[in-house]
């Protein structure tokens, strides 16, 4: 296997890890107000992801760094052409992270309410815009002979891109609801179940339409497999949730997210940034890559460090695996 192909696959794996892990904590943030009827309820929801949300974002940083090092021309075109949506995602993630840390610093209802809004907005914005961005990466954007993006924001807001945003938002919402069903107790768990029962069919229809559209437009023969597995996983997840099998439901939505990413990257390869202006201007794993020496050095580092990161994160989730409820939230004495 060529090193360029290896790094394309590794970047896809990093995005799978990011969307699987960050997907459910985006979902928790998106559900902060629908499921949190009181400050104590919202503290429970936040505490379910409190030990892990910042670790989940390591996958995004690693994916971005890997893209910059392995495919610098892809990185340059992507981050210049998608500058505004990526900047909005960055601001949303910053405000969301600050909100987690600051909401409890002052004993004020208004203070906590404002930061809770920041958490919700900081979860919804990336959940939608990541789908818009990836849909346009796969669909292709106007790129000239110099590798420069020649469109604008409205170029990205096409029907396929918007459906991609709806797909990621609905999948992350469902993933978060299943996670909360798995991690909470009492009334919050019951509410999460009800949300998952509604969100499941929505995600199935929206995600199925998006993946089939992409498959018919630019998919390969083998990429039908992850598309069908993703759809089947969502069906299994819906059934499992209705039978109170939260572990199976959560695993099923996670598998659906992973299969969706595989189908998109599979239909994209060997391109990394197709040009709708002229196919000759498209960026591929070959013409957008770093030197062979750089890829060799990076491969050694990746083979050593990736297992360490995975083991550490796995240990973290094991330590904080127990369910929590309102009874575990200490009473604030005023």
Per residue in 87-146, pLDDT (tens digit) is: 999 999 999 999 998 988 888 889 999 999 999 999 999 999 999 999 999 999 999 988
CB 52 within 8 A of CB 28: no
CB 119 within 8 A of CB 27: no
Tokens of 135: 């849909």
Burial of 322 (0-12, 13-18, 19+ CB in 10 A): exposed
Q: Which pLDDT score, from 0 to 100, does residue 333 have?
A: 46
Helices (H) and strands (E) in the chain, counts: 14, 2
Burial of 47 (0-12, 13-18, 19+ CB in 10 A): middle
Q: Return the SS3 of 291.
A: coil
The residues that bridge with 318 in the sheet, in sequence order, are none
Q: From first to last of its 334 residues, what are the pLDDT tens digits of the chain? A: 689 999 999 999 999 999 999 999 999 999 999 998 888 889 999 999 988 888 888 899 999 999 999 999 999 999 888 988 999 999 999 999 999 989 888 888 899 999 999 999 999 999 999 999 999 999 999 999 888 888 888 889 999 999 999 999 999 999 999 999 999 998 999 999 999 999 999 999 999 999 999 999 999 999 999 999 999 999 999 999 999 899 999 999 999 999 999 999 999 999 999 999 999 999 999 999 998 898 999 899 888 888 888 888 888 888 888 888 877 777 654 4
Q: Which pLDDT score, from 0 to 100, does residue 148 have?
A: 86
Residue 126 within any structural domain of the chain: yes
Closest C-alpha to 274, from 81, 47, 126, 99: 81
Q: Which pLDDT score, from 0 to 100, does residue 331 have?
A: 66
Residue 320 within any structural domain of the chain: yes
Q: Which pLDDT score, from 0 to 100, does residue 119 have?
A: 95
* Structural domains in the chain (count): 1
Residue 206 within any structural domain of the chain: yes
Residue 331 within any structural domain of the chain: no
Rounded to whole angstroms, the Cα distance separating 243 from 249 reads 9
Q: Which pLDDT score, from 0 to 100, does residue 88 have?
A: 94
CB 241 within 8 A of CB 251: no
Q: Return the SS3 of 85.
A: helix
Residue 45 within any structural domain of the chain: yes
DSSP state of 280: G
DSSP state of 104: T
The residues that bridge with 143 in the sheet, in sequence order, are 149
- Domain with 223, as residue range(s), is 3-326
Neighbouring residues of 300: CB distance < 8 A, sequence distance ≥ 6: none
Using CA atoms, how far residue 119 sits from 29, 82, 184, in Å, is 6, 23, 19
Q: Which pLDDT score, from 0 to 100, does residue 14 have?
A: 94
Cis before residue 270, ω within 30 degrees of 0? yes
CB 237 within 8 A of CB 252: yes
Residue 137 within any structural domain of the chain: yes
Residue 116 within any structural domain of the chain: yes
Q: Which pLDDT score, from 0 to 100, does residue 332 have?
A: 58
- Given the structure tokens 């030197």, which residue do they identify? 291
Rounded to whole angstroms, the Cα distance separating 322 from 75 reads 40
Using CA atoms, how far residue 270 sits from 1, 36, 277, in Å, is 13, 45, 18
Neighbouring residues of 247: CB distance < 8 A, sequence distance ≥ 6: 182
- Given the structure tokens 């789908």, which residue do they identify? 131
Q: Return the SS3 of 208.
A: helix
Residue 334 within any structural domain of the chain: no
Closest C-alpha to 220, from 170, 265, 155, 175: 265
């Amino acid at each position: 296997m060529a090193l360029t192909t290896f790094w394309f696959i590794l970047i896809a794996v990093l995005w799978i890890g990011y969307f699987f892990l960050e997907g459910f904590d985006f979902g928790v943030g998106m559900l902060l107000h629908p499921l949190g009827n009181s400050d104590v309820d919202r503290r429970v929801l936040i505490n379910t992801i409190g030990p892990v949300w910042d670790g989940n974002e390591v996958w995004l940083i690693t994916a971005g760094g890997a893209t910059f090092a392995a495919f610098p021309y892809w990185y340059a075109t992507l981050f210049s052409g998608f500058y505004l949506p990526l900047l909005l995602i960055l601001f949303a993630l910053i405000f969301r992270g600050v909100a987690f840390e600051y909401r409890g610093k002052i004993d004020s209802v208004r203070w906590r309410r404002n930061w809770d809004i920041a958490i919700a907005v900081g979860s919804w914005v990336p959940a939608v815009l990541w789908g818009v961005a990836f849909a346009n990466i796969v669909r292709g954007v106007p790129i000239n002979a110099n590798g420069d993006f020649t469109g604008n924001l409205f170029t990205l807001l096409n029907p396929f891109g918007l459906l991609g945003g709806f797909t990621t938002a609905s999948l992350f919402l469902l993933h978060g609801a299943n996670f909360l069903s798995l991690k909470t107790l009492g009334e919050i768990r019951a509410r999460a179940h009800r949300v998952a029962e509604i969100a499941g069919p929505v995600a199935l229809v929206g995600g199925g339409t998006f993946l089939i559209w992409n498959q018919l437009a630019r998919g390969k023969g083998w990429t039908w497999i992850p598309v069908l597995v993703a759809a089947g996983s969502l069906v299994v997840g819906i059934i499992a949730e209705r039978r109170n099998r939260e572990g199976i439901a959560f695993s099923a939505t996670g598998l659906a997210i992973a299969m969706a990413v595989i189908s998109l990257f599979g239909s994209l390869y060997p391109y990394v940034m197709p040009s709708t202006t002229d196919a000759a201007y498209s960026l591929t794993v070959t013409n957008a890559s770093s030197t062979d020496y750089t890829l060799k050095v990076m491969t050694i580092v990746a083979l050593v460090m990736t297992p360490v990161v995975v083991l550490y994160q796995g240990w973290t989730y094991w330590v904080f695996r127990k369910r929590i409820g309102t009874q575990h939230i200490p009473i604030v004495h005023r």
